[in-house]
Chains A and B, each alone.
Chain A
């Protein structure tokens, strides 16, 4: 097992670091540590945020001794690593690819040197892992996108990306939960809402979940959107 390092991020947060790489096993350990910490110290920590290779633990510095918390975290880090494929929920996401709902599909196909159908196939045949939820409420950074679709972010970000847009960039894929500026390539759109503060569970995706995209046609998209 990779050893963990704990460093301070100011007086009110500790960062648990594992090696800097996108790796389901590293991610699975961090998700496990975050859950264990919520169980054992949920009353004193304010937030536990999983990154790709980090877990940031927020606390009230007047109520929690940082060295006690660091020792607690190191204890939890010794637990056997979980099976990354067994963690979290499996979620299927219907996507209407291309056309006005996926305005970058044509360009992505051109730049990657394959057909639009091939892009859709490459994007929808992988089971992705949710590594990080951040940027805006409910935005899940999922990976890893097939190498043949490896593209950097757009050189000029859009000022408005519609909610539900399914996009790729830098080996990752994600769904914009709300209308926001964004620099990823838009392949399609889903009628599902990753974030809805009115739902009992406002956020659909959590780190550790596994996600598959399923291509649907425009009529199905419209019907699901009305449901």
Chain B
């Protein structure tokens, strides 16, 4: 089988597909990409189905050596990438030659890149998915990040060969994310709701694929009654007793016991996924109608259909 060998792991490189859906009621996290848009775009660029397994590359990229000529595409965060000394064009497919390492060098913008190979990475699914869940140690390679010496088989996924659209507009230093109120906004003071929308938060270093711990404003509750555990959708802004919010991301737990003041809309999750510690976030309120319209725009951009 054709393969790619990891010669340098990078800071945090994981295999992801669109997530392990359908098992959250058993406590199994969804995982999947932090930036769903770029994952799907990278797969489209090489003609895979959008759900094919690709790599998510975080802040410091890896070095990968193919065993045969392989068609690849990189989307999402922009890195300087070289192959045999020559720069690789991102957001387009390219052929990585047998034995010649694909080297990720300095990061230019954004936090996470997706690397897809034509045929998809062939790893054994766990509960129907090839996504890596670091918190539950589930998925390829025992649910851990890739390390030097790991060999990634390349499959024969021959997707629909769907068209590929524009890259995600990458945030520069921060992003304004649209949120829908709730589910627990009524448990917060009016001041807290105002602060959520007026304050500028910072992604702290204590942030990872599970969630971003934010600094910037303390969001006070109207009561301190302990909540009974319930489900924790991606994009939830949960507020622990400290009042400093946590934005729940791809590898979140399935349930939690903190109230959630608002939820980032699906269309803006890819922007959140491109943020790094030190970047700012502002939360802008929006309606369901706006959220759906924004998602339609995102989908149109992804498929290259102009609207």
Contacts and interface: CB of A to CB of B under 8 A. Distances in A.
Interface of A: 7-13, 15, 17, 20-22, 34, 46-54, 56, 58, 61-62, 66, 132-139, 141, 170, 177-178, 195, 197, 202-203, 206-207
A178 B255 contact: no
B209 to A, nearest CB: 15
A60 to B, nearest CB: 9
A86 to B, nearest CB: 20
Nearest to A207: B25
B230 A46 contact: no
A196 B305 CA distance: 44
A12 B266 contact: yes
Given A61-B295, A134-B255, A10 B26 contact: no
Contact of A138 (B21, B27, B135, B256): B27
Given A10-B263, A46-B22, A51 B27 contact: no
A149 to B, nearest CB: 18
A13 B27 contact: no
A16 to B, nearest CB: 10
B138 A13 contact: no
B136 interface: yes
Interface of B: 21-30, 126-127, 135-138, 179-180, 182-183, 225-231, 233, 235-236, 253-256, 260, 263-266, 288, 291-292, 295-296, 299
B229 A52 contact: yes
Given A11-B180, A22-B228, A62-B295, A49 B24 contact: yes
B25 A51 contact: no
Contacts of B291: 10-11, 61
A11 B296 CA distance: 12
Contacts of B264: 10
Contacts of B296: 62
A207 B138 CA distance: 22
18 contacts: A7-B183, A9-B263, A10-B179, A11-B266, A13-B233, A20-B227, A48-B25, A49-B230, A49-B231, A51-B228, A51-B229, A132-B230, A133-B27, A134-B231, A134-B255, A135-B27, A136-B136, A203-B28
Contacts of B231: 9, 13, 15, 49, 51, 54, 56, 134
Contacts of B136: 136-137, 178
B183 A9 contact: yes
B27 A137 contact: yes
Contacts of A15: 183, 230-231
Nearest to A5: B183
Given A11-B292, A62-B292, A66-B288, A47 B230 contact: no
Given A9-B260, A10-B263, A47 B255 contact: no
Contact of B26 (A54, A62, A206): A206
Contacts of A22: 228
A133 B22 CA distance: 14
Given A7-B183, A13-B233, 10 more contacts: A9-B263, A20-B228, A48-B25, A54-B231, A56-B233, A61-B295, A132-B230, A137-B136, A202-B28, A203-B27
Contacts of B229: 51-52, 132, 134-135, 141
